[in-house]
Homo-oligomer: A and B are copies of this chain.
Amino acid sequence: MTIEIAVRHAVPGFTLDVDLRLGNGLNALFGPSGSGKTTLVNVIAGLRRPGAGRIVVDGTVLHDSAAGLDLPRHRRRIGYVFQEARLFPHLDVRRNLLYGRWLRGQGGGRAEIDAVVEMLGIGSLLARRPSGLSGGEKQRVAIGRALLSAPRLLLMDEPLTALDEARKAEIMPYLERLRDESRVPILYVSHSVAEVGRLAGEMVALSGGRVVAHGPTAEVMAGLDILPGGVTAEAGVMLDAEVVGTEPEWQLTLLDTAAGRLAVPSGDLPAAGRVRLRIRARDVMLALDPPVGVSALNSLPGVVEAVVATGDSAVLLRLRCNTAVVFARVTRRSAANLDLVPGRRVHAVLKSVALDRAMISL
């Protein structure tokens, strides 16, 4: 299943001009405030008619200006979690949730409904009207409403911003499962590198209405320093990993990656299978010799390949550990002290607790 979006849409003072082809899974739309994320999502949903362009989802042409074709919004089967919840004020939470389902004549699916309600923690709100709900409660109901409408494409515009960390931590695994099991592609707008890194297979960075970067999340993340709104703290790589074993007594899980073997907290990780691991450059410490007598459990031998970027106080180094690239951010002084020039052999030291659940996506 693919999503093709090639649209141009101009309003006074702002022009959205994108040409994208997105694959299945969860694709992140990333960019600073006012960069056109919501506009793009609205165009896809049919809420704004683009000045010109073509939108195709899974072979179905949703819009084609040249051919004069525009599928009415209600036939696009797009689930949309709006930036503002937009709940129906005259319906209680339950009816809000089931609105789309009811329209499609799918009254059933109790199990699915219950699962969503439970995941979102809105079981106690079902009989309430939206007016009294807190900001986060509204947002959760809005997420549930879109999820339950059986869409063929899910658009989520900053769905988790109103939520606390604990709630996010509960919802994210659900989104992972949705992404992997339901085959519903998701376009996910977010400002949070952590969310994007964990959830998104592909990532599109927008700025001023244009695509400034697009590709596998790992690759785009690696270049985050050069992105607008440079979120240096979050720069890093994504590695594919295989669960190769556990240490039950310590509740640690062993992952094999192209960079080497790593121990991470088990949490809810599966006992086998593939996951993805994000390693932030700022979490990587470099040592000339394998460290001993330290709490960090992971140490990957590697070679400095290049100095990717140089900031005022820090440098971003690209290492090759086995066959994989890993980034490390260290102070310029350390780089000088340890003579971290290309070709230098080093060890990338990583605390297991820094590789927590937020860094791993299933």
Residues of A within 8 A of B (CB): 11, 13, 31-34, 37-39, 83-84, 124, 128, 132, 134-137, 140, 157-158, 161-167, 191, 193, 228-234, 247, 250-252, 263, 265-267, 282-283, 285-289, 291, 293-297, 312-314, 328-336, 338, 340, 349, 351-354, 356, 358
Contacts and interface: CB of A to CB of B under 8 A. Distances in A.
A334 B297 contact: yes
A288 B294 contact: yes
Nearest to A336: B250
A296 B285 contact: yes
Nearest to A329: B353
A212 to B, nearest CB: 13
A278 to B, nearest CB: 13
B251 A313 contact: yes
A214 B234 CA distance: 30
Number of chain copies forming the complex: 2
A33 B167 contact: yes
Given A231-B166, A294-B291, A134 B285 contact: no
Given A163-B191, A229-B167, A38 B134 contact: yes
20 contacts: A32-B164, A33-B162, A33-B163, A34-B137, A158-B162, A233-B356, A250-B332, A250-B336, A252-B331, A266-B312, A267-B312, A282-B351, A282-B356, A283-B354, A285-B295, A285-B351, A287-B294, A296-B334, A297-B331, A330-B353
Contacts of A265: 312-314, 331
Contact of A358 (B83, B84, B233, B293): B233
A285 B288 contact: no
A342 to B, nearest CB: 16
A267 B312 CA distance: 8
A34 to B, nearest CB: 5
A357 B285 CA distance: 19
Contacts of A135: 33, 38, 83-84, 157-158
A164 B191 contact: yes
A84 B11 CA distance: 24
Closest 3 CB pairs of A and B: A33-B136, A166-B229, A265-B313
Contacts of A351: 282, 285, 330
Given A13-B128, A295-B328, 19 more contacts: A31-B164, A33-B140, A33-B164, A83-B162, A135-B157, A135-B158, A163-B191, A164-B229, A165-B231, A165-B233, A250-B313, A250-B333, A252-B331, A267-B312, A282-B354, A287-B291, A287-B294, A288-B294, A295-B330
B282 A313 contact: no
A193 B162 CA distance: 14
Contacts of A340: 295
B282 A293 contact: no
Contacts of A295: 285-287, 328, 330-331, 334-335, 338, 340
Contacts of A231: 164-166
A34 B266 contact: no
A140 to B, nearest CB: 7
Contacts of A296: 285, 334
Contacts of A230: 166
Nearest to A335: B295
A249 B294 CA distance: 30
